[in-house]
Amino acid sequence: MSVDVPDMEELLRFTSVARYGDRDPVCPDGKTDGRPRRGGALHLSALLPAISSAIGYPVATAVHRDPSALQAALSLPSARSAIVVLVDGLGYWNLAMRLGHAPYLRSLMNESVNRRPIATCAPSTTTAAMATFGTGTCPGLTGMAGYTQLNPLTGKLSQLIQFTDAIAPADLQRQPTVFELLRRQDVRVTSCGLPKFRDSPLTEAALRGPDYIGAVTPRDRVMAACDAAKTPGLTYLYIRDADKTGHGDGWDSDKWIAVFERIDAQLALLKRAAPSGTLIVVTADHGMITTDPDQRIDIAEEPELARGVRMVGGEPRSLMLYAQADEPAEAIAERWRRRLGNMAVVRTKDEAVGQGLFGPVEERVRAMLGDVIVSATHAATIVDSRIQSDKATRLPSVHGSLSLLESDIPCLIDMA
C-alpha cells in the first residue's frame, strides 16, 4: 500500500508545537478546536518509556508518568526483548517519499499502525533530540537545546556534538536516562554503534547507561544487536549515514538514495537475524528539508538583524539570539519580524517557554536559552558568515525547525 504524501508546500508548512505528556492525541479528549494535538504519547520522548513497559520493566520520567499508557497509545506489543533503532535524519516524510527504494521499510508501512508519524522535539536537531530520546524528557530539562548554546559559566557559546567549550556532559544533562533507570532494575541494556561513539561527550550526556558494543561495519553492528537481544532486555542500535549524507549531498540526491537502500538492507538483516519474538522499533531524531539558496539570509550582511545581538546560537533553521546588555529582547524580535516576515516565526524567550516549545523548563536551563528564538519557515535558512564556514552556510539539506518534514518522524513496529 502506498503512503499518501502531502505536496511539498504542505510538508514545509510551519506546524504547531508538540506537547509533552502521556495523553494519546488521537483520542477525543486530546483535541483542541477539533484538531488533534501533536505530541503527547506520540512523541520521541515517549518511545523508551513505552518500550520499557513493553519489556515488563516500566520506567517513568519527569514528563512521562505512565509508561503503560504510552505502550498502549503507540500500540507496542509486549516482548521479553526489544531492539530500538534510531536512524539519524530519516524523517517520516523523507522515508515515505522514497519507499520504492526500501522493500523492508515498505513492508512495514503496509501496516496501518506504522503509517502514523510521531513528533520529535524542538529544535528538531540531533543534540536536542538524542537527549530527549535517551531521557524520555525534553530540552527544557536536559539542558540540550540546540547545536550551539550559551554556557552560562563562561558567557561563551558551547557546541554540543563534541561539547566544545561546554559544561561537562553529566553536569549539563542531569536527567537520568531510561537506560540507567532500567539498569537499576537489573535489566540488560546494550548499545551498538561505532567504536568512536563509545565514550563521546554526546553519548555520556544523552545515552549513558548501557553496555556499549562498538563495531566498525554496519553488518557487525546489526549482528551485535541481534546477539545481545538473545538475552531479555533492551538493545539500542544507532545508524547515522542518512543524516551525514543529507547534509553533504542533499537528502534528495542519488547518494542519499543509495545510503537509504543500504539502511533498508541493514534493517532487513536485523529482522531476519533477531531472535524470534523480539520487538523491533525503528525511529529517527528528525527529518530534513532541501534548502532554497534564494531564501538564504546572512546576518553578516544585515545590519538590522545584527543590531543588539551579542551572540548567535542554534543553527540555520532554529536560531537562539543572545542580546547585548540593556538591549530588550522584544526590540530585537520586532526588528527580526519586520525583516523576515513570513520567512520565520520569531519569539522572545518568554513567549517560547510559555508556548511549551522546549517542554517544561528548569531555571538553570532557562539561562542557557536565547533571549530571542527564531524558527525558519518554508525552505529558508538564516546563517552568519562571521562565525560559520561558507560550506556550513550552504548545506543542501538541513533541519531544526517545525515543518512537517523536519518534525515528523517514524515509529515503525515489527516483531522478529
Q: Which residues contact 305 (CB under 8 A, 6 or more apart)?
A: 297, 299, 335, 336, 339
| pLDDT above 80 for 32 | no
pLDDT grade for 2, boundaries at 50, 70 and 90: confident
Kindly state the cell numbers that stand for 45: 520522548
SS (H, E, C) the chain: CCCCCCCHHHHCCECCCCECCCCCCCCHHHEECCEECCECCEEHHHHHHHHHHHCCCCCCCCCCCCHHHHHHHHCCCCCCEEEEEEECCCCHHHHHCCHHHCHHHHHHHCCHHHCCCEECCCCCCHHHHHHHHHHCCCHHHHCCCCCEEEECCCCEEEECCCCECCCCHHHHCCCCCHHHHHHCCCCEEEEEECHHHCCCHHHHHHCCCCEEEECCCHHHHHHHHHHHCCCCEEEEEEECHHHHHHHHHCCCCHHHHHHHHHHHHHHHHHHHHCCCCCEEEEECCCCCEECCHHHEEEHHHCHHHHCCEEEEEEECCEEEEEECCCCCHHHHHHHHHHHHHHHEEEEEHHHHHHCCCCCCCCHHHHCCCCCEEEEECCCCEEECCCCCCHHHHCCCEECCCCEHHHHEECCEEEEC
What CATH architecture is 8-125+175-290+403-415? 3-Layer(aba) Sandwich (3.40)
Q: pLDDT tens digits, residue range 204-256?
A: 999 999 999 999 999 999 999 999 999 999 999 999 999 999 999 999 999 99
User: For residue 1, what pLDDT is reported?
Assistant: 58
| Cβ(155)–Cβ(324) below 8 Å | no
CATH of 293-394, one of 1.10.10.60, 3.90.228.20, 3.30.1360.180, 3.40.50.300: 3.30.1360.180
pLDDT grade for 25, boundaries at 50, 70 and 90: low
% of the chain with per-residue pLDDT over 90? 95
Q: pLDDT tens digits, residue range 129-183?
A: 999 999 999 999 999 999 999 999 999 999 999 999 999 999 999 999 999 999 9
What whole-number distance in Å separates Cα of residue 317 and Cα of residue 314? Answer: 8
pLDDT grade for 3, boundaries at 50, 70 and 90: confident
% of the chain with per-residue pLDDT over 70? 97
| pLDDT above 60 for 30 | no
Q: What's this model's pTM, rounded to 2 decimal places?
A: 0.96
What whole-number distance in Å separates Cα of residue 205 and Cα of residue 226? Answer: 25
pLDDT grade for 260, boundaries at 50, 70 and 90: very high
Choose among 311, 302, 315: nearest CA to 129. 315
Domain boundaries defined on the chain: 8-125+175-290+403-415, 293-394
Q: pLDDT tens digits, residue range 367-391?
A: 999 999 999 999 999 999 999 999 9
